[in-house]
Chains A and B, each alone.
Chain A
Amino acid sequence: MSLLRRNWLWLLALVVLLAFPFLFYDWAKGRHSGFALTLMSEIGVMAIFALSFNMLMGQAGLLSFGHAVLFGLGAYCAAHVVNLVKAGTIWLPTELVPLAGGLGGLFFGFVLGWLATKQRATAFAMITMGLGELVSAAALMFMGFFGGEGGITIDRVMDTSLLGVRYTSPWQVYCLVLAWAFIAAALMRLQTQTPLGRMANAARDNFERAQFVGYDPRRIRWIQFTLAGFFAGIGGGLYVLIYEIVTFDTVSAAKSANALLAVYIGGTGAFFGPILGTIVVVLLQSGVSLLSNAWLLYVGVLFIVMVMYAPIGLVGLIGLHAPIWRAGRLRELLLPYLRALPPALMVLLGFVLLVELTSFTTIGAAQGKHFAIAGRTIDTTSPLPWGIALVALGLGALWLRREARAFRLRWDALMEDAKRQAGAS
């Protein structure tokens, strides 16, 4: 029972995630939305990937520019294993395919880690970048293992399932992804509480001191890197099951960058930060890109805003509220937040409108697209929409500044009280 009480959050998350796809369920046709399921499966995979990236960045202070190499190589290994299973050469239950990917990631993490973990900080980052470039180039050149441009395709429908499921529908795959995501996340969470996990923290904080308590920081980095490879490989294995294909872009720098962005946006401060970041990044990339041509610009602006004003990430921002919450006065922030909302929306609206207008005037017009809001086509050459955008942006900014100042005062006061209260108790 205590186990249940301690882990209620995990269980709640599992229930919510299982229920969530039904929001998109097409009752008329009686089928799930493949798009929503694939997107959510993608989030699951990327969450594992981001968490494993955080084993390096958050836990060990190692910034890798080539983490996708481990993810992708794991995926290739898993794909080859599936094909061997299909051919009857070996036997492996479908459910354990991600494990094959994990072992592949483990192996390559060990080998490449030998090189990369000789250094730390910037040198480590540059080595991983170099390895990333080399592997992604090799992925196109060597047909045998990588299958060239076309990649390796598999058929996930096998007769070796332990549960008797054939994984024909995205829903079944989603459940498998969910299961593995929970297992992997739980394992990674537990790993932070092991001697290695703790010493990785120690070496991150002060690698020299770690030496003087008997540890070889390089060995710590290497093992940590190898383990991160294992989990990234599990992600890769799941990727193969979702898309039934693995191509060179799984090892590419863009994929590595995604993990970095997800972890940074989410925040390294708490274990769940990377998961939150992943959700934001995937939705931005797969969701917004469907709707707006200028999605890259939004991504850029989002990052700059985050880096400048909230380098602690989303969980960090949430975490800031903890003292006030503990003092039981979170409710008093509600009003200031609500007051800040309209000007913030106004700024956002003005900005988005401006970007979209520009984007449609140049690129969109060239593509023969029309800028439409709620079905009404907007004439991007008339001054009205531009005026609205500019006014919204300008007035919103001024208003927001005022509200922000008021918010700040309230916040500081609450923080002060909360601190005093905590000090008194």
Chain B
Amino acid sequence: MMLEVRDLHALYGKSHILQGVDLAVDEGEIVSLLGRNGVGRSTACKAIMGLVPPVGQIRFKGRSIAGLRPDQIAHAGIGYVPEDRQVFPSLTVKQNLELGLKRAGVFGRWKFDDVFALFPNLGERRDNPAGVLSGGEQQMLTMCRTLMGDPDLVIIDEPTEGLAPRLVEQVGRLLDEIARRGTAILLVEQKLTIALKISHRLYVMGHGRIVFSGSPAELTANTAIRKEWLEV
């Protein structure tokens, strides 16, 4: 396994958000982490990324990364796209993308042109400040920015949140493209459809723990878990 998380705990102030999470992602794999709001999915992502102090074991490519600084973890090969689209508003679209690069001028699987070909909108507005982009464009930009750093695993937190259906499809296409290029994805989602469609495996989280782990088919079959933890 490329990423292995064992018995991960995290505290937010006094509240025990993660209460022993185990999960794993293998190379080139797309894994979804599902669950309702507030069950700790985002915190799990942040803990892996070092943005929230983690307690427990996190190994990436065989090396323990728990306790490292976020930038060290990024350099180890994990990319992270937060849920709240943190574009750097005063920088242009292109500059935002540039900052995704780990080193100036060193490109990996993704180049500027790839991004602009996939999202012509961004290409047209490459010299505009990112702050004036629409919500959807910002979402695409955040994802592409992380990809520029050529991570081997990218953690994407709710990429479709608050997007119009047309844009949701775009996100789906981008995810496909990422997978095609061989980058593993840990996707946090609420929309079952997308997750079921693209994931190799899924985890369902509830109350700070993993409550289900299995293939899309298994989850589709397991009505009880879906009713209890996911659906209306």
Q: Do chains A and B touch in the complex (CB under 8 A)?
A: no
